[in-house]
Amino acid sequence: MWRRRMSAAHCSSRGRRVSKGLLALFCLWGLLSPTCAARFGVSRQSFEVKKHLKRLNKPAVKSIQSPDGDVIDCVHISKQAAFDHPFLKDHKIQMRPGYHPERLFDEDKEPENPKQRVNPITQLWHQNGKCPEGTVPVRRTKAEDVLRASSVKRYGRKKHRSVPQPQSADPDLVNQSGHQHAIAYVEGGKFYGAKATINVWEPKVLNPNEFSLSQLWILGGAFGQDLNSIEAGWQVSPDLYGDNNTRLFTYWTSDAYQATGCYNLLCSGFIQINSEIAMGASISPVSGLHSPQYDISILIWKDPKEGHWWMQFGDGYVLGYWPSFLFSYLTDSASIIEWGGEVVNTEADGHHTSTQMGSGRFPDEGFTKASYFRNIQVVDHSNNLKAPKGLNTFTEQSNCYDVQMGKNDDWGHFFYYGGPGRNPKCP
């Protein structure tokens, strides 16, 4: 009632005793309608941004300042953005999966080749504290983050045509969409998850609206308007985060990136249960040329008991799950699994972008130079992790970014991938 009376009083002639400055503040705080906000010089865009920030940034039990400028809010697990979804209103949080896939590779064993040993990895915000149990760490969204998007509605969402389509390597489609890939993939069966260990780098991104990422895709349906996708990996995206840091990310969509889904926790959907790893937070340290190598393991699988899709980071961090009702095709299984790199090329002068993929080096340069995916596995109908059969590779322009597969006892199925983008053979 108070809110209604305030809106009515301050938007009428009877409220003239209150200063316009104070009224503008009320508008910005979301206490007044957009129409009222417009009367006092508060733009519609500012009003929508404030409203969106209020929706995303839930009240925090504790806040942690990260060295990279991020603020990590420790939000009570039941107050996270996932529960804004109407179908999750009475959802009982599942604190652990019903089943975990049986493992094929022992990730803890040291490789026989000492040159292929890698180092542990963490997130930058861990240097200044941790979130208490019963909360989840959420990267706070700033007004400038939202303002970099094409619209408030599109903030946190991918553009269309961002999934590699190996069967339709049409140069016209490649040039039109601007997305380029270097991937390995399997198709033609029913898949219930996938796993990989991904080498982490900090590729250079030429333009603020371009990005470079390395991820795995869990795909269901055809490459049409109803494509289902669950994605996770690392990315450098100045447009999304406002810097060039390498960050852990997830994504989901049930309609080919049109109206559903988002990055990380920027919409309702993914339910996080872990208090230690923050989606969208910076990964540290990263690999360097002829330097120590760092990688992350990501496992996504469908719980055969509840049907939800779970995500695990590393060996011990079960992060949370995508409820099965979010999807159509993926309520049953995935039909394609993809692993690899993606960049977007926005150069309009006829030249290729110099945005790097992976380490920015071609795959034939090998360990400590080129980036890699190792221990590539899929989850079968019996909930077992196993080596993929019929693994193929795909890239639109191998002179810009390429991929090369291999197999050995230490790394199982693996591939090196990436490249510099623009170079003498990719003008």
Which residues have a catalytic role annotated? 231, 342
Residue the block writes with tokens 């939000």: 75
Give the span between the Cα atoms of 33 and 282, in whole angstroms. Answer: 37
Buried b (16+ CB within 10 A) or exposed e, 396-419: bbbebbbbbbeeeeebbbbbbbbb
- What secondary structure letter does DSSP report for 387? P
**Cis ω for the linkage preceding 285 (within 30 of 0):** yes
Would you state the structure tokens that stand for residue 2, as one six-digit string? 């108070």
What does the longest C-alpha to C-alpha distance in the chain come to?
81
- 326 phi/psi in degrees, rounded to 5: -65, -20
Neighbour count for residue 2 (Cβ, 10 Å)? 7
Please name the residues in contact with 119: beta carbons below 8 A apart, sequence gap of 6 or more.
Answer: 285, 292, 293, 294
Q: Are 212 and 308 in contact (CB under 8 A)?
A: no
**Cis ω for the linkage preceding 427 (within 30 of 0):** no
Please name the residues in contact with 293: beta carbons below 8 A apart, sequence gap of 6 or more.
Answer: 117, 118, 119, 199, 287, 367, 368
Give the span between the Cα atoms of 374 and 81, in whole angstroms. Answer: 33
Give the span between the Cα atoms of 226 and 256, in whole angstroms. Answer: 6
How is 92-115 classified by DSSP, letter by letter? PP-SS-S--PBPSS-TTSPPSSGG
Q: Are 235 and 246 in contact (CB under 8 A)?
A: yes
Give the span between the Cα atoms of 201 and 235, in whole angstroms. Answer: 9
Q: Are 181 and 329 in contact (CB under 8 A)?
A: no
Buried b (16+ CB within 10 A) or exposed e, 43-69: eeebbbbbebbeebbbebeeebebebe
